[in-house]
Chain A
Amino acid sequence: MENKKVMGKLVSYLLNIVLVFIVVLPLLFSITSSFRPHEDIFKYISPITWKTFIPTDITFSAYKDIFTESGFGRIFFNTFFVGIVTVALGLLVNSMAAFAFSVFSFRGKKIVFFIVLLTFMVPFEVIAVPLYKVVSSLGFIDSYSALIIPVVANGLVIFLYKQFFDDLPLSIFESARMDGASWWRIYYGIVLPLSKPVTITAGLLIFVGQWESFLWPLLATHSDQYRVIQVAMSTFSQEHATIWNQLFAASNLTIVVPAILLLFLQKYFVNGIANTGVKE
C-alpha cells in the first residue's frame, strides 16, 4: 500500500514537473534570447540542447537599445500615465454609476443596466469605426485624452461594483439617511471605505486593460510622444525583419509590471471577485 502511495505521488510530481516545463520553457527562451546578440537567437534552436536555454554570450544591448534607440523610457511613462489616470477616473465614475444602479430606483433602470452589460460584451472591433469618428470629431485624436476618456466608463467595473453594493445591508443606508447624511456622503463616507477589495480588483482590471490595450491606441494616436507599450512592441516586427532580441527584452519588461502588481494585490483580487459573487 505504502509503495503504491509513493508511486502515485511520484507520478503526480513527474507529471507536474513536465507541465511546469511546458509552461516555463517558452518564457525561459524569451528571457534567454533577450540577453543574446541578435545574430545568436536562432543559432542554437535545433536540435534543442542546454545552449538553447542558457545564453553563452551574454549581452545587455537589447535592454539598452530599447531605451536609447526605441525610446522606451517615454513609452513606459505614457503607459503608466494613461493607466493610472484611467484607474483614478474609472474608479470614481464607475463606482458612482454602480451606486446609482444599486441604491436608487428610477424608470428604465433595468434597460439602462442591460445596456451597460452589453457594452463589455461587444467586441471592440465592432465599435472601432464609430468610436474613431466620435473621438476624431471631439478633436482628441493623437492626445492623452483619446487614450483615456473613451476607456473611463467600463461596463464590467460597473457590474462588479453593483454586485458588491447589492450585498451591503440596506439598514446601513437607512440609518445613515435617518441621521441626516446626504447620498453623496453615504457614497464617499460609508460605501467606498467598505469597498476596498472590489476597488482593488476593479483598479487592476482597468490598469491591466490599459496596459494590454493595442488596437485603440494604434488607431487613436500616431506621434511618438503618445506611443504606448503594445503599439511600440509591434514596431519591432518590420516588413522584412523582426528585431527579435529587442522584442524579447521589451516583452519581458512588459510582463514584469502586471505580474508584480498581481503578486502584491492577489489576495485582494481573489477576495474582490469572490465577494461580488456571494449572495446572502
Chain B
Amino acid sequence: MKGKFFLMLVGIVSLVLIATGCESNGGSAHSGKVTLTILAEADSADSLKAVAKGYEEKHPNVTVKVQSYPFADLFKQQQVVLNAHDPSADILYIDGPTLPDFASKGWIEPLDNYIDDSVKKEWSKSMADEVTIQGKLYAAPMNSSSQVLFYNKEILKKNGIEPPENDVNKRWTWEKLVNNAKKVKGKSNGQKVWGFAFEQANRAYQLIPLAQSLGATKLVSDDGLKSSGYTNSKEMIKAGQFMNDLYNTWKITPKISADQTNDYFSSGKLAFIEGGSWDAVDFKKAGVNFGIAPVPYFSGGKPVTPTGSWTLGVSKYSKNKSESAKLIKYMSTGEGAKKWFDLEGNLPATTHLLEQIQKDPKYKKLPYSASSLAAYEDQHDSMLRPKTPGYITWESEVDKAFENIMDGTDPKKALDESVKQMDNELEKYKN
C-alpha cells in the first residue's frame, strides 16, 4: 500500500515538472514571426481585433492576440501582470489620466525612439498632450471624448421652457440653465420629473470643468505631487457650492449614482442632462424625443469641456517593443484610426477625423450631430484632467468630496479633507 502512495507522489511531481517544461513564450523574435498580445477592455475588444486584422494583412509575420477583461477590472488585471513582470503582455489599453501612474512605476516604455514627431502631429492637440508626460511620449491616443447638453423636448414644452440652441455662439450659462430647470414641475407616469443632472454624477471627469470654467488652470502642482492649494482652490470650492445648490438648495438634481442618470433621462424623468456625445445613439434607441446644445459655462467665466480617453501603451516587459510600437502607430493614425472610428463611433483622436466629422453631412442630424458638436468642443474648449502619478487616488478623493457635497457637506470642508488624504498618498511618489 505504501508503494501506491509513493507512485502517486512521483506521478504528481512529474506532472508538475512536465508542466514547467512546457512553459511557452509569447513571441519569439528569432523565427521572424511575432505574436503581439493586447490586454484590452471587453467592450472594445472586437473593434481592436478588427483593426489589428488590417495590420496583420500587411504584415504577415505578425499575429495580434486581444485578451479582454471587464471594464471595471482591467486595471487590476494589468497591475498584477505588470507587477509579475510578465513578458506575455505587449500592449496595454490604458485610460489616459492613469498614464502618469504607469509611467512613474516604469510599467510602460517611452516611445520617443519608436514614434516620430510627424505621427504626433496627426493627433489632436489635447490628445497629444494627454499621452506626453514630463516631455516624453508614453502612449498613442485611440479616442477622445467630450460632453454635450441633452434636453427632453416634451418636458421642456410642457413646462413652457424655450430650448437652448445647438450653436456654440448662443451657449447658455449655468445660471440660465438653473433658472429654466427650476421651472420643471409635475410628474410622468406618476414619477417625479427632475430638472437637471450630470450623467457622471459626482465624478471628477465631468465636474472639474466647472472649476476650469471659473478660471482654475491647475488642479495639481506641475510635478503632479501636490494637491493642496490646487484641488481646493477657490474655483473648486465655488464649483462645489454650485453642486451643493443643485442638490440641496434648488433641489433640481436627483441624488442618484452615475450608473442611473442616463436611465432617468431615457425614461422621461429628467429635463436636462449633461452627458457624453456617445449617449445620443442610446437616447435615440430608447425613443426619447431630445435635442442637444453646447455645455453651459459660468457667466463671467469661459466655456470648458472635459476630454481624454483610452490610449495604447507598450509594456516595459514586452520582448517585442519595436513591433508593438509599429502596431499602435498603425492603430492610432491614418487607415487604422479611420477603421477604429467607423467601428467604435467614439470621438476620434486625430485632427483629420475631427475635422471630417464637422464637415460630413451625416453628422448634421441627430443623433450624430452630437459627435459633430463634441468634435468642435474637443478642438476649441477642452481641458485635460490633471496629470499626476497618483491620479487614481486623486480621482477617488475628488469623487468622494463631491459625494459628500451632494449630501450637504460644506464644499470647503469636503475638499480640504480630500486634499489632506491626497497629499498623504502623493507623498509616496516623491523620490
User: In the complex, which residue of chain A has the Cβ closest to the Cβ of B66?
Assistant: A222
CA distance A136 to B4 in the complex (A): 31
Instruction: Check if B20 sits within 8 Å of A219, measured CB to CB.
Output: no
Q: Is B16 in contact with A237, judged by CB distance below 8 angstroms?
A: no
* Interface residue tally for chain B (C-beta within 8 Å): 47
State whether A234 touches B70 (Cβ < 8 A). yes
Query: In the assembled complex, which residues on chain B have CB atoms less than 8 Å from the CB atom of A47?
Result: 190-192
A176 contacts partner chain B, Cβ-Cβ < 8 Å:
no
Q: Is the CB of B86 within 8 A of A39?
A: no
Within 8 A of B (CB), among A197-226: 215, 218-219, 222-223
- Asked if A42 lies at the interface with its beta carbon under 8 angstroms from chain B, I say yes
B70 engages A42 (CB within 8 Å): no
User: What sequence of 0s and 1s flags, for each residue 238-261 of chain A, a beta carbon within 8 Å of any chain B beta carbon?
Assistant: 111110100000000000000000
Q: When the two chains form their complex, are residues A218 and B77 in contact, meaning their CB atoms are under 8 A apart?
A: yes
A5 interface contact, C-beta 8 A: no
* Contacts A47-B192, A218-B73; A237 near B259 (Cβ below 8 A): yes
Residues of A within 8 A of B83 (CB): 129
Mask: chain A, 118-140; 1 = CB below 8 Å from B; 0 = not: 00000000001110110011111
User: Contact between B80 and A235 (Cβ–Cβ < 8 Å)?
Assistant: no
Contact A219 B77, CB 8 Å, known A41-B263, A244-B263: yes
A: number of interface residues (CB 8 Å): 42
> Chain B residue with minimal CB distance to A142?
B67
Name the contact of A132 in the complex, choosing from B19, B72, B86 (C-beta under 8 A).
B86
Instruction: Tell yes or no: B276 within 8 A of A by CB.
Output: yes
* Neighbouring B residues of A222 by C-beta, 8 Å: 67-69
Q: Does B4 contact A235, Cβ atoms closer than 8 Å? A: no
Give the docked Cα–Cα distance between A128 and B73 (Å): 14
Residue in chain A with minimal CB distance to B190 = A49
Give the segment of B176-184, B278-286, B326-334, B362-370 that binds chain A: B278-286
Taking a contact as CB atoms under 8 Å apart, the answer to whether A129 and B267 are in contact is no
Establish whether residues A42 and B267, one from each chain, have CB atoms under 8 Å apart when the complex forms: yes
Within A154-203, the residues touching B (CB, 8 Å) are 182-185
Q: Mark A28-59, 1 if CB is under 8 A from B, else 0.
A: 00000000000111111111010100000000
Query: What mask results when residues 1 to 22 of chain B are scored 1 for a CB within 8 Å of chain A, else 0?
Result: 1101100000000001001101
CB atoms of B19 and A138 under 8 A apart: yes
Contact of A44 among B16, B67, B84, B189 (CB under 8 A): B189
A132-B84 contact in complex given A47-B192, A138-B20, C-beta closer than 8 Å: yes
A231 within 8 A of B: yes
B259 touches A242 (CB 8 A): yes
A215 — which chain B residues lie within 8 A by C-beta? 76
Seen from chain A, the residues whose Cβ lies within 8 Å of a Cβ on chain B are: 39-47, 49, 51, 128-130, 132-133, 136-141, 145, 182-185, 215, 218-219, 222-223, 231, 234-235, 237-242, 244
* A–B complex contacts, Cβ < 8 Å, 18 sampled: A39-B287, A42-B267, A43-B189, A43-B267, A43-B269, A47-B191, A49-B190, A129-B80, A129-B83, A129-B84, A136-B88, A138-B23, A218-B73, A218-B77, A219-B80, A237-B71, A238-B71, A239-B43
Q: A140-B19, A234-B70 are in contact. List 9 more A-B contacts (CB 8 A).
A: A39-B266, A42-B267, A45-B191, A138-B20, A182-B1, A222-B67, A234-B73, A238-B43, A241-B262
Closest 6 CB pairs of A and B: A234-B70, A222-B67, A42-B263, A182-B1, A43-B267, A184-B1
